[in-house]
Amino acid sequence: MHGRFSATVLILLILLVALRATRAQRKSPDAAPHPWYQHAVFYEIYPRSFMDSNGDGIGDLNGIAAKLDYLKALGVDAIWIAPCFPSPQVDFGYDVSDYENIDPMYGTLADFDRLQKLGAEHGIKIILDLVVNHTSDQHPWFLDSRSSRTAPKRDWYIWRDGKDDGPPNNWISNFGGSAWQWDNATKQYYYHYFYVQQPDLNWRNPAVVEAMFGTTEWWYKRGVAGFRLDAVDSLYEDSALKDNPVLPGTNDFGDPKIENKYTQALPEVHTALQGLRTVANKYNAVLIGETWTDNVAQLKPYYGVANDELQMPMDLLLTKLKFSAPVFREHIDAVEAIGEWPVFVIGNHDIVRSWNRYGDGQHNDQIAKAMAAMFLTLRGTPIMYYGDELGMQNNDPARREDVKDPIGRLGWPKEKGRDGERTPMQWSNDANAGFTSGTPWNAIPETYKTYNVADELKDPNSILNWYKQLLALRRSNPALLDGDYLALNENDPNVLSYLRKTKNDAVIVVINMSAAPRTVNFKLSKQRLNAKPAQTLLTTQPSLRTNSSAAQLSLEPFAVYIAALNKK
Ligand code: NOJ
Ligand code: CA
C-alpha cells in the first residue's frame, strides 16, 4: 500500500516537472524584454518614388530626409530603403555595381550620413537592402570575372561549360528564359537567377562570403540598423547542376514551369545566414529576409535552430491570400503554430498594391481599413509599404511601350511588370502629386487627387488617419505590443475576432470581413475576461464609439471594433 502510494506520488511529481518544462519551453511573448525590432513598425521606401528633392523626376535621399516629420507623425520606427547603391538600374537598383556607395541619382554618402543623423533625431532607424545573391554585370568583380578564365575573380561567379551545344542544364531564370548566359569571350556560360545583367555570386567561394560580410559591417559602422536581405533563398545552387523537375504547363513568360528543387532554399543558405547574423549581433542590428515560402511552416528554419539566423523572415504568404475571415484565421493559426515572432507584410514593390489585391472593386477603402486593423493588431512586427497608408492604387501601364520594368516588356500582356505598384508617393493634389517639380519617372494615377497626404490629413475618416490612429494605439497598448494571440468564434465565416492578452491587459479585435451587417456574441469567461464593461479603443463604426459591452455586437459591413477588456 505504502509502496503504491509513493509510486503514485513519484509519477505525479514527474508529470508536474514535465508540465513545467513544457510551459517553460513554450515561448511566451511576455517572458523576456523585447528586442527593439519587435516593438518597431517598419516602413518600406522605394527611393525612386518617395520624394524628389532636385526636380529630376526621381526620388532621392534628401527627399526622404525632407519627409521624416511625416514618417514620425505616422508612427514609423524604421525605414527600409530599397537599393540606393550605384547601379546601372536594369532592375532599378537590384543590380548593384558598388555596395559601399550611393548612386548619384539618389545623392551622396554625405547625404546618406545626414539622413542617418536626422533619422536618429526623429527616432527612425535606417535599414538598407542588401542584394546578396547577385551583382550587376557592371560590378568590377564581374568585369574581372568575365575578363578571362584565369582572372582572379573568375570563381566569384558561377561559370560552367555548356552541354550538347546548349546551356549546362534546364534551370530557368525567374525573369524569363534560360538561367545561363553564354559568354563568347571566354566560351562558358554564367548563371543568373534574375536578369542576364544580374550574374549570381558564387557563395561557395569564401572570398565572396567575406566580401559580403565586410559590406554589412561597413554599413553598420556608418550607423545602419540592419538589412533586408534580397532573394536569400537563391544563394546556393546544386553544385552537380542536376536538372530541376519539370512541371506541366508554361509560365507567363512562356517558359516551362519548373520546381526550383536544385536552385532554391538549399541547406547551405543557413550557414550563410548564421554568418551574417554573427556580424549583425555585434551591432545589435536586425536581419529581415525576403523569404518567399510555399507554406508558413517553411519560415521556421529561417529563424535558425538556435535563433541564430534571421530575426525577421518576412511572412509574404499573407499577400497571396484573399480577404476572408476563415482564410486569414487559418493563416494566423499556422503562423502562431511555429512559435516564433511573426513578421507581417501586406504589400511591397514586387506585388500589386494591397488596395487592389484585397479589394472587391466596390468597398476597397473599407477593406483597406479592415486590412490595416488586422495587420497592425496581430502579434508580430509589421512592415508597411509606402503609400498603402493612403490607399494608393496600382497603376499598370496601358501599353507595352510604356513599361519600364523589363519583365513587363518580356511577359506582356500576361505579366505587366511592377511599375504599377512603384508609382510616386502622393503627397498632395498639386501637379505630380507634389512628388516632383519635374517630370515623374513613372506615371501617377489620377486618383492621387483625392488619395494624398495633404487631403487625407484633413479628413478624419481617411485611410491615412485610420492608420495613424491604429499605429498610435499599437504603440501605447501593452496587449497589442506583447500579448498572446487567442482566436475567438473560430467557426464564424464572416467576422474575424481575436484577443491580444498579457498578464494584465486584454484587447479584443473584431473585424467584419463581409459586405453584409453581422451580429457576433462573445462569452469570455473561459478566457477569464469580462465581456462587459468594454472600453472602445478604436472603431470604424460611429455607433460603437460609446459602446460599453463586447457581449453582443451589431457590426456594419467591413466594420472594425477594437476594445479593452477587464479581467475577471
Ligand atoms: C527581389 C526584389 O524584391 C525584386 O524587386 C528584385 O527584382 C529581385 N529580388 C532581384 O534582385
Ligand atoms: Ca531626384
231 torsion bin: left (phi>0), alpha (psi -120 to 50), beta (else): left
Cα gap 163→370, rounded to integer Å: 54
| Cβ 131 under 6 angstroms from ligand 1 | yes
CB atoms within 5 A of ion ligand 2 belong to 52, 54, 56, 58, 60
| Cβ 94 under 6 angstroms from ligand 1 | yes
Mutate to test the pocket of ligand 1, among 136, 194, 229, 383 (most ligand atoms within 8 A of CB): 194
Ligand 1 centroid–CA 177 distance in Å is 17
Q: Which amino acid is at 388?
A: D
Contact 514, 534 (CB under 8 A): no
> Which residue lies with its CA nearest to atom 2 of ligand 1?
230
Cα gap 269→551, rounded to integer Å: 49
Ligand 2 centroid–CA 105 distance in Å is 6
Ligand 1 centroid–CA 360 distance in Å is 28
93 torsion bin: left (phi>0), alpha (psi -120 to 50), beta (else): left
| Cβ 46 under 6 angstroms from ligand 1 | no
Closest CA to 534 of 558, 518, 546, 550: 550
Q: What is the pLDDT of residues 78-108, one digit of tens each?
A: 999 999 999 999 999 999 999 999 999 999 9
Ligand closest in space to the Cα of 55: 2
Cα gap 293→280, rounded to integer Å: 24
> Which residue lies with its CA nearest to atom 11 of ligand 1?
94
Question: What 3-state DSSP class applies to 308?
Answer: coil
Cα gap 242→94, rounded to integer Å: 27
DSSP 6-39: HHHHHHHHHHHHHHHHHHHHS--TTSSPPPHHHH
Ligand 1 centroid–CA 349 distance in Å is 9
Cα gap 59→54, rounded to integer Å: 9
Cell matching residue 121: 533625431
| Cβ 492 under 6 angstroms from ligand 1 | no
Ligand 1 centroid–CA 419 distance in Å is 13
Mutate to test the pocket of ligand 1, among 49, 87, 94 (most ligand atoms within 8 A of CB): 94
| Cβ 95 under 6 angstroms from ligand 1 | no
| Cβ 350 under 6 angstroms from ligand 1 | yes
Residue 290 DSSP code: -
Task: State which residues of the chain have pLDDT below 70.
Answer: 1-32
Please measure the distance between the N-terminal and C-terminal CA atoms of the chain and give it in whole angstroms: 43
pTM: 0.94
Sign of CA dihedral 350, 351, 353, 354: negative
Ligand 2 centroid–CA 47 distance in Å is 9
Question: What 3-state DSSP class applies to 327?
Answer: helix
Residues carrying an active site annotation: 230, 290
Contact 89, 52 (CB under 8 A): no
Residue 70 has φ and ψ, to the nearest 5°, of: -60, -45
Closest CA to 522 of 549, 500, 501: 549
| Cβ 230 under 6 angstroms from ligand 1 | yes
What count of residues does the chain have?
568
355-360 long-range contacts, CB within 8 A, separation 24+: 355/388, 355/391, 355/392, 355/393, 355/394, 356/393, 356/394, 357/319, 358/322, 358/323, 359/323, 360/323, 360/515
Element (H, E) at 218: helix 206-221
Ligand closest in space to the Cα of 51: 2
Q: What is the pLDDT of residue 18?
A: 43
| Cβ 314 under 6 angstroms from ligand 1 | no
Residues contacting 522, CB < 8 A, separation 6+: 488, 489, 497, 508, 531, 550, 551, 552, 553
Closest CA to 495 of 357, 373, 376: 373
Q: What is the pLDDT of residue 2?
A: 47
Across the strands, what pairs with 424? none
Element (H, E) at 484: strand 484-488
Residue listed under C-alpha cell 472594425: 560
Contact 69, 119 (CB under 8 A): no
Q: What is the pLDDT of residue 7?
A: 53
| Cβ 91 under 6 angstroms from ligand 1 | yes
Q: What is the pLDDT of residue 66?
A: 98
Q: What is the pLDDT of residue 33?
A: 81
Write out 75-107 in H/E/C secondary structure: CCCEEEECCCCCCCCCCCCCCCCCCCCCCCCCC
